[in-house]
Structure formats: C-alpha cells, structure tokens
Structure 1
Amino acid sequence: MTGLRYVYAVCRPFGAALQADVTGVAGSPPGQLPHHGLIAVVSQVPERDFAEEPLRRHLEDLEWLSATARAHQGVIDALTAVTTPLPLRLATVFRDDAGVRVMMEAREQAFRRVLARLDGRVEWGVKVYAEPEAAESAESTGPPEKAATGRDYLRRRRLRTHAHDEMWQRAEKFARRLHDTLSASAEDARLHAPQAAALSRASGRNVLNAAYLVPRSRSEAFVELVGRTQDTQDEEAPGLRVELTGPWAAYSFAGLDGDTDDTDDTVGEARHDRRGTP
C-alpha cells in the first residue's frame, strides 16, 4: 500500500464483509490492519491532500471538509452494521502502516477498555426543535385582528411576548422530561450543546441535543419509546418537533482523550445528512 494511511476506527476482528459500495475517503476502499488482536480500519490517501500543510488548508474549505466527513461517516456506518467500531476523529492520518501500529501500541489498553464497554451497543441521537410559528398557528382560532389604538397595539405586543416566554418554558420543560425518560431507558446519556441552525440546516431552535447509549438488543424498545413521545408531543407541547437519528457508532461515549476537535461538528453534520428511518 502506497500513500498515507487514513484511520477511520479501531475494532475487534470481524469476519463479515463490509458493503460493496463503501469507497471511503478520497475514493479509496477501506482495509484492515491487524495489531495485537485489534484491527485498525484504514485506507490509502494521497499526500497532496493529506500531508500536514495541504490538510491544514483543506480543513478551512467547508466543501472539501463536508465531502470528507461524509465519506468518513460512510465507512463508520458500514462498520457499525457488522461490529462495534471505536471511531477516531476526522482526518486521523499517519505516514505508513508502522505509524498506525505505533499509535495502536501506545493506546492499546485504552482501546481495549473502551471497546469492552461499548461492545454490542449503539448510539441514538434525539433532538427537539421549537418552532414558535407552528405553536402560534396551533393555538390560533382565527385571523389576527388589527389593533384599534396604540394602547391596544402595545397590549397585544405584551401578550405575544408573554405567550412566547410561556412557549419556551414549555419547550424546555418538555425537553427535560423527555431526556429524563430516555436516560432511564439507556445505559448512558450525553447532553450536547444545542446545534446551530446553520450547521444542522433544520428549522426551529434546537432545545435538546442528546445522545443515548443503548444495547442493540434494546434498540427497538428505545425507538418505540421515542415514537410514543412523538405521538403525544403535539398535544402536550405544540410547536415542538422530536427528531430521532441512528443507530450510530458510539461517538459520544468513546471517551478517548484527543479524539474530539472542531472537525467533529462536521462529522455530526454528515450523520445528520445520512439520517433515515431506523
């Protein structure tokens, strides 16, 4: 194998074949590099794009970064279908196989510890979005009336402000209750910072952005629990939207120091783009 080595994930040996259409970053198919009973999933990438200086420039190019993140996530998704991968951060690159093995040697115990904890488990993502316009539409009984006087206009404006405040309070209360319910049905949970609309490209304001670690064997029950929440949420809290994504590799629960940085937001965007019906 020539060129640099791009490392997607570390996992235990697996016998199942990956999907035939998985090409990986830079169009190079992923392969397995064994070391001490572990596997690094790697592919070859060109120096002209992934050596230190060109890679630094590319990481400022959002179009290139997004395409790379989608290819990276495609390999992780394929691995998740056949094993429990431990994803490494986007653009983890080494000079050659020896460099990958040195990294695996140095972090072997941490890899084994985390893989043991994540074995047979997947991550489900749940987001809640608040859409004030939808809430107002649901609560409105007819077309808005024109204000007759300036005093009437100010009174209506105060009422609208009060209604908005109440809506945000309901949204936050609903999100807290939902998180508590889902956390009780998961082995672990993580609350992430609300996602900016520019990144998610989703309508509304993100009031809950959470990840849940769930055994594969209990995933169906977890999905049904979220579904029941979606069925009742319009009545309890109009103007809210619950979004479920997954199952993903357990990015949020890997707990490896140094394997998160700003580019992980782009991986999150790639996962958002690839969301589908569980």
Structure 2
Amino acid sequence: MTDNGLYVYAIVRAEHRTPKGLAGVGSPPLPLRFLVEGRVGAVVSDVPPKLRARRRDLLAHQDLLLRLTGSGPTLPMRFGTVAPDEAAVRAQLLAAEHRHLAALERLDGRVEVNVKAFPPSDALAHLVREDQNIRRLHEAARRRPGYEANLRLGEAVVTALSRRAAEAGQSAVRELTPLADAVATGPEVPGCALNTSFLVGRAAEGRFRAAARDFAAARQDRVELRLAGPLPCYSFVGADGPLTGAGA
C-alpha cells in the first residue's frame, strides 16, 4: 500500500461475490482488495499517482461499479474518494454497519436510470402555431428583419421552449414514478429543463424504458427525453455518500 491512503470504490455485503478480472483506476490499472468488517466490506485499491479525473479513469471507475452491481447490491463511491488508511475504512464500516446493510437492502435488485428533459431542436414550427406571442414576434421579424426583432424573437423562443420542456418533463416524472421504487431530483444541467433519477427494479427496467419512449414520442414537439442507465445508484445512497465520517 502507498502512503497516499486508500482509493475506495464501493461498499458491499461481506458475502458479495466480486467478479473476476476486475481492476481499479490508474495506468496500469491497480489491483483491488476487499476489506471485510463484520457483515459489510469495502472494495479498495492503492491511490494512483497524480490522481485526476481523466476520461480513462472515470470510465474504469464506472465500469467497476456496474460490474459490482451486477453481482449484488452496491453502495457506490464518487470518483476520487480517498480514505486516509485501512484502519479508517474498517472503523467506518464497523460504526455504520447497520446503516450500510439497510441501504444495501434498499438497493438490492435495483438500478438507477437517469432521465433528462431537453427542449426539442426542431419545434419552432409547432411553437409558432400554438403560441400567439411567438407568432406575433415571428411575423414582426419577417416584416421588418433586424437585430432587435431577431433578438426579441430568439429570447421568447428559448423561454417558451424551456417552459414547455419543463412542463412536459414534470408530466413525465408523474407518469414514470409509479414504475420506480424511488425518485431523486438531480442538480441543474445547462440547457436541461429537468434532471431526475429513478430507482428501478431490474425486472421493471424494460417496462420503464418503454413507457419513457412512448411518452416522448407522443410529445416530441414539446420535449426530448434522454435516458441514461443502468447506472450505479449514486442518487440513492445519501447526500454525503456511504463513507461519511471515514476521512473520505
């Protein structure tokens, strides 16, 4: 082990079967270790030199978490989570054993699916037909084209498209929520009208995706839904993550 602490990837049950052939971040990828304390364990490695959020390591971190999730419930750590030493990790595992077990039970057999709502890129014609103010500004810009007219039209179009996408996104959340076990609002994303994650049972994931596709197809003039997943269940392990108090 290096003097730089331990890189912590996830917390799992003590009996979790870690898939073979897994490796951590770094170049070359660092070997993994499994620290068990009581009924829970942590998947760790040494900390790679000059740890930075390189695309290669971000993907390696995510791939490892997805493969761990495939063989049992997993509490994922954010990229770059480093504990001071093995003793700190073991102490935290022991202190929070019951909390970790409860969270693992809640996530068992489930994945995260993220849904983002964006204004559609080709909805201007629909907007002109349906929005009287946009139609008026559009006609004014055609009659007397110029910077000010185009600016007013552009600002009104952006505002209207964002509003319609947000309203449709909220409708999507209401329609998709019964198909999920939990819902979490995500942080704001530039250009995105709505960012929401759903905790979905693996057996229900296909039905969830089909419902999202059907919803988007019926409202393609108002919203573009982008789904990402299955993802590690970052949004459902608590705001501070599962290693709170471990010096992470």
Give the secondary structure class of the aligned counterpart of 1:127. strand
User: Residue 252 of structure 1 aligns with which residue?
Assistant: 235
Give the secondary structure class of the aligned counterpart of 1:65. coil
User: Residue 188 of structure 2 aligns with which residue?
Assistant: 194
User: Residue 265 of structure 1 aligns with which residue?
Assistant: none
CA contact (8 A) 1:84 1:249 kept: no
User: Residue 17 of structure 1 aligns with which residue?
Assistant: 19
Tell me how far apart the structure 2 counterparts of residues 163 and 95 of structure 1 sit (CA, whole Å): 52
Tell me how far apart the structure 2 counterparts of residues 90 and 153 of structure 1 sit (CA, whole Å): 46
CA contact (8 A) 1:7 1:88 kept: yes
CA contact (8 A) 1:125 1:210 kept: yes
Task: Give the paired residue count.
Answer: 230
Q: Does 1:216 align with 2:199?
A: no
User: What is the one-letter code of the residue matched to 1:72?
Assistant: H
Residues 141-200 of structure 1: per-residue CA shift (max 9 Å, x gap): 9xx9974547x997787666555544333212101101111112211101122213xxxx
Unaligned runs of 5+ in 2: 130-137
Give the secondary structure class of the aligned counterpart of 1:180. helix
Tell me how far apart the structure 2 counterparts of residues 179 and 206 of structure 1 sit (CA, whole Å): 15
CA contact (8 A) 1:33 1:42 kept: yes
CA contact (8 A) 1:194 1:208 kept: yes
CA contact (8 A) 1:9 1:88 kept: yes
Tell me how far apart the structure 2 counterparts of residues 25 and 149 of structure 1 sit (CA, whole Å): 59
CA contact (8 A) 1:24 1:74 kept: no
Would the alpha carbon gap of residues 258 and 244 (structure 1) be closer, same or farther in structure 2, given more than 3 Å must change? closer
Give the secondary structure class of the aligned counterpart of 2:80. coil
Tell me how far apart the structure 2 counterparts of residues 251 and 36 of structure 1 sit (CA, whole Å): 24
Aligned-residue Cα RMSD (Å) equals: 3.2
CA contact (8 A) 2:39 2:97 kept: no
Further displaced range: 252-261 or 174-183:
252-261
Unaligned runs of 5+ in 1: 50-57, 59-63, 197-204, 262-278
Would the alpha carbon gap of residues 223 and 95 (structure 1) be closer, same or farther in structure 2, given more than 3 Å must change? same
- 2:179 is matched with which residue: 185, 188, 196? 185
Structure 1 residue 72 displacement after superposition:
1.9
User: What is the one-letter code of the residue matched to 2:95?
Assistant: A
User: Residue 44 of structure 2 aligns with which residue?
Assistant: 42
Residues 29-64 of structure 1: per-residue CA shift (max 9 Å, x gap): 323222212121111224x54xxxxxxxx6xxxxx2
Would the alpha carbon gap of residues 97 and 130 (structure 1) be closer, same or farther in structure 2, given more than 3 Å must change? same
Would the alpha carbon gap of residues 39 and 256 (structure 1) be closer, same or farther in structure 2, given more than 3 Å must change? farther
CA contact (8 A) 1:80 1:248 kept: no
CA contact (8 A) 2:73 2:105 kept: no
Tell me how far apart the structure 2 counterparts of residues 210 and 253 of structure 1 sit (CA, whole Å): 12
**Which TM-score applies when normalising by structure 1?**
0.70
Aligned identity (percent) is 29
CA contact (8 A) 1:89 1:260 kept: no
Give the secondary structure class of the aligned counterpart of 1:116. helix
User: What is the one-letter code of the residue matched to 2:115?
Assistant: V
CA contact (8 A) 2:116 2:227 kept: yes
Give the secondary structure class of the aligned counterpart of 1:134. coil
Q: Does 1:226 align with 2:212?
A: yes
User: Residue 133 of structure 2 aligns with which residue?
Assistant: none
User: What is the one-letter code of the residue matched to 2:119?
Assistant: A
Tell me how far apart the structure 2 counterparts of residues 17 and 109 of structure 1 sit (CA, whole Å): 25
Structure 1 residue 106 displacement after superposition:
2.1
User: Residue 268 of structure 1 aligns with which residue?
Assistant: none
Tell me how far apart the structure 1 counterparts of residues 60 and 150 of structure 2 sit (CA, whole Å): 51
